[in-house]
C-alpha cells in the first residue's frame, strides 16, 4: 500500500513530463510571448487573532533578449505572536522569516519552459524548494496548457526559552518533504470570456505537525490536561479549481472562482470567490472589489478536547484542521501614471488594498475561558468543553508600487 501510494505521483510526473516534452517539440514557427518586464515593491500588514505580521516584498522581472525572462523575489515576514495557541500553552514570541526566489522562463516557439528555486529561512524552519514547468499555446492561441512540478525539502527545528533567551533546542531536528504536480488549461471561450481550469496533487511525508502545539484531554469531567499532538507522517491532497472572467460592455470585468479540495486526512474544502474590476477617469484609476467564501470539514483526527490521554494514535487540535467557515472582503484602489522624463517607464502605479477576514469555528472552543492566558487562570474558569466557540477577525493591508518597462 505504501509502495503503491509512492508510485502514483511518480507515474503522474512521468506522464506530465512526456506530454510536456511532446508539446514543447510540437511548437510551430509562430512565437509565444514572454511575461512583461516589471518591478513591484510591496509593504503588507496582517493583524488578527493576536498575531501581527508585516514586512516588505520586492519582485523584479526582466527579459534578457527575446527568449529569456528572469524573475527574482525577496520577501520578509516579521511576526509578533500572542495567538490563542500561544496564550494557552506558551509565551508570546517574535520571529522573522526571509524568503528569496529566482526563476527563469525560456521561450521556444509556442512553449515556455520555467525553472526556479525558493529558499525560506526562519529560526525554527528552513525550506528549500525547486520547481519546473512548461506551458504551450495551441489552437490558434485560444488554448494554453501547462504542467508543473515542485519539490520541497524542509528542516523543522524547535526553539526553547532558557533564562529569557530564545534559542534552538539542539535535541530536536526533524524533516519534511513535499511534492506537487499540477496541470492547468486556459481557454478563450468568446471575445469577452476567458476560462481556466487547474488540478493539483500535493504529497507530504515526514514531520507534519507543529513542535509547539498541544491537544487537551479530560482527566475527569471538570478537569483537563495538555499533551503533545500526534500526526500521521504522510498527507496527500487533491485540489481542482475553475475560474472565469468576463469583459463587460462598458469596460469593466467580472470574475468568479470555485475550488474543491480533499485530502487523506479527511478534510474537504470549498472555496468560492467573486470579483469586479472598474476603471475610472480615463483609466487613471482602477477600483476592484473582491468577496471570498471558504468552508472546510475537520480532519478525521481533530477534536477540540479528547475524552482521555492516548485516546487515539493520531490526535490534533490545530484550528486549521477544525470545521469552520471564513469570509474575506477586499477592495483595491490603483492610480496609474506615466512620467515624461522617464521614457523607459511604460507605466507606473500606486496601489492600496484592504481585506477584512472573519473566521467562525464550529468545533474549536476558546480555551482561554478554562485554561487562562500565559499560565494565569481566569477569575471564574468555565468547565472544559463548555467555553464559547472561537472567532477570528483580521485586517490585511497592502500598499505597493509597480513599474512596467
Q: Could you tell me the smallest distance in angstroms from the CB atom of residue 320 to other proteins?
A: 6
**Among the residue ranges 136-144, 155-163, 214-222, 304-312, the one whose residues contact other proteins (CB under 8 A):** 136-144
Q: Let me know: does 323 contact 296? Beta carbons within 8 Å.
A: yes
Residue 171 makes contact with other proteins by CB under 8 A: no
Residue 259 makes contact with other proteins by CB under 8 A: yes
Q: Could you tell me the smallest distance in angstroms from the CB atom of residue 172 to other proteins?
A: 22
Residue 125 makes contact with other proteins by CB under 8 A: no
Q: Could you tell me the smallest distance in angstroms from the CB atom of residue 216 to other proteins?
A: 20
Measured CA to CA in angstroms, residue 385 lies from 117, 364, 365, 366, 381 at distances of 45, 10, 7, 9, 12
Using CB under 8 A as the binding rule, the residues of this chain from 189 to 218 that contact other proteins are 190-192, 194, 196-202
Q: Could you tell me the smallest distance in angstroms from the CB atom of residue 379 to other proteins?
A: 31
Q: Let me know: does 313 contact 371? Beta carbons within 8 Å.
A: no
Q: Let me know: does 98 contact 68? Beta carbons within 8 Å.
A: no
Out of 127, 145, 315, 367, point to the residue binding other proteins (CB under 8 A).
Answer: 145
Using CB under 8 A as the binding rule, the residues of this chain from 30 to 59 that contact other proteins are 32-33, 35, 40, 42, 44, 46, 57, 59
User: Using CB under 8 A as the criterion, what x/- string covers residues 66-105 for binding other proteins?
Assistant: -------x-x------------------------------
Q: Could you tell me the smallest distance in angstroms from the CB atom of residue 370 to other proteins?
A: 24
Q: Could you tell me the smallest distance in angstroms from the CB atom of residue 81 to other proteins?
A: 12
**Among the residue ranges 28-36, 165-173, 211-219, 360-368, the one whose residues contact other proteins (CB under 8 A):** 28-36
Q: What is the rounded distance in angstroms from the CA atom of residue 270 to the CA atom of residue 240?
A: 10
Out of 11, 282, 313, 376, point to the residue binding other proteins (CB under 8 A).
Answer: 11
CA angle centred on 210, ends 206 and 213, rounded to 5°? 145
Strand partners, 115: 104, 132
Where does 142-267 show beta strands of DSSP type E? Answer: 143-162, 165-190, 193-206, 214-220, 223-228, 234-248, 252-263
Q: What is the rounded distance in angstroms from the CA atom of residue 87 to the CA atom of residue 213?
A: 11
**Among the residue ranges 162-170, 224-232, 353-361, 373-381, the one whose residues contact other proteins (CB under 8 A):** 353-361
DSSP state of 266: S
Q: What is the rounded distance in angstroms from the CA atom of residue 390 to the CA atom of residue 304?
A: 11
Using CB under 8 A as the binding rule, the residues of this chain from 260 to 299 that contact other proteins are 261, 263, 265, 267, 269, 271, 277, 279, 286, 288, 294, 296, 299
Cell of 259: 475550488
DSSP state of 87: H
Q: What is the rounded distance in angstroms from the CA atom of residue 309 to the CA atom of residue 230?
A: 12
Amino acid at each position: 500500500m505504501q509502495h503503491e501510494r509512492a508510485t502514483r505521483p511518480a507515474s503522474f510526473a512521468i506522464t506530465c513530463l512526456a506530454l510536456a516534452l511532446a508539446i514543447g517539440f510540437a511548437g510551430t514557427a509562430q512565437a509565444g510571448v514572454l511575461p512583461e518586464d516589471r518591478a513591484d515593491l510591496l509593504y503588507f500588514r496582517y493583524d488578527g487573532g493576536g498575531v501581527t505580521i508585516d514586512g516588505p516584498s520586492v519582485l523584479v522581472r526582466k527579459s534578457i533578449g527575446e527568449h529569456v525572462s528572469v524573475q527574482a523575489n525577496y520577501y520578509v515576514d516579521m511576526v509578533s505572536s500572542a495567538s490563542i495557541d500561544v496564550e494557552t500553552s506558551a509565551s508570546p514570541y517574535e520571529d522573522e522569516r526571509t524568503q528569496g526566489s529566482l526563476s527563469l522562463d525560456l521561450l521556444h516557439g509556442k512553449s515556455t519552459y520555467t525553472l526556479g528555486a525558493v529558499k525560506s529561512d526562519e529560526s525554527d524552519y528552513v525550506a528549500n524548494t525547486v520547481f519546473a514547468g512548461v506551458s504551450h499555446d495551441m489552437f490558434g492561441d485560444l488554448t494554453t496548457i501547462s504542467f508543473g512540478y515542485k519539490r520541497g525539502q524542509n528542516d523543522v527545528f524547535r526553539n526553547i526559552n532558557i533564562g529569557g533567551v530564545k534559542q534552538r533546542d539542539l535535541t530536536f531536528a526533524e524533516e519534511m518533504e513535499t511534492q506537487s504536480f499540477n496541470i492547468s488549461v486556459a481557454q478563450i471561450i468568446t471575445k469577452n470570456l476567458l476560462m481556466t481550469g487547474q488540478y493539483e496533487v500535493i504529497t507530504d511525508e515526514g514531520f507534519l505537525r507543529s513542535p509547539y502545539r498541544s491537544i487537551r484531554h479530560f482527566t475527569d469531567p471538570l478537569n483537563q490536561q495538555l499533551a503533545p499532538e500526534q500526526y500521521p507522517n504522510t498527507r496527500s491532497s487533491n485540489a481542482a479549481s475553475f475560474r472565469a472572467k468576463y469583459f463587460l460592455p462598458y469596460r469593466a470585468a467580472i470574475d468568479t472562482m470555485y475550488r474543491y479540495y480533499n485530502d487523506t486526512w479527511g478534510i474537504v474544502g470549498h472555496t468560492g470567490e467573486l470579483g469586479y474590476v472598474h476603471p475610472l477617469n480615463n483609466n487613471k484609476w482602477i477600483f476592484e472589489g473582491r468577496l471570498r467564501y471558504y468552508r472546510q470539514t475537520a480532519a478525521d483526527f481533530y477534536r477540540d478536547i479528547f475524552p482521555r490521554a492516548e485516546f487515539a494514535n493520531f490526535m490534533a487540535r490545530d484550528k486549521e484542521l477544525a470545521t469552520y467557515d471564513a469570509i474575506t472582503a477586499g477592495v483595491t484602489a490603483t492610480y496609474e501614471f506615466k512620467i515624461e522624463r522617464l521614457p523607459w517607464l511604460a507605466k507606473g502605479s500606486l496601489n492600496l488594498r484592504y481585506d477584512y477576514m472573519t473566521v467562525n469555528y464550529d468545533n474549536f472552543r476558546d480555551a482561554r475561558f478554562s485554561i487562562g492566558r500565559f499560565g494565569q487562570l481566569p477569575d471564574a474558569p468555565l468547565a472544559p468543553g463548555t467555553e464559547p466557540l472561537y472567532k477570528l477577525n483580521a485586517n490585511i493591508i497592502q500598499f505597493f508600487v509597480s513599474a512596467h518597462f
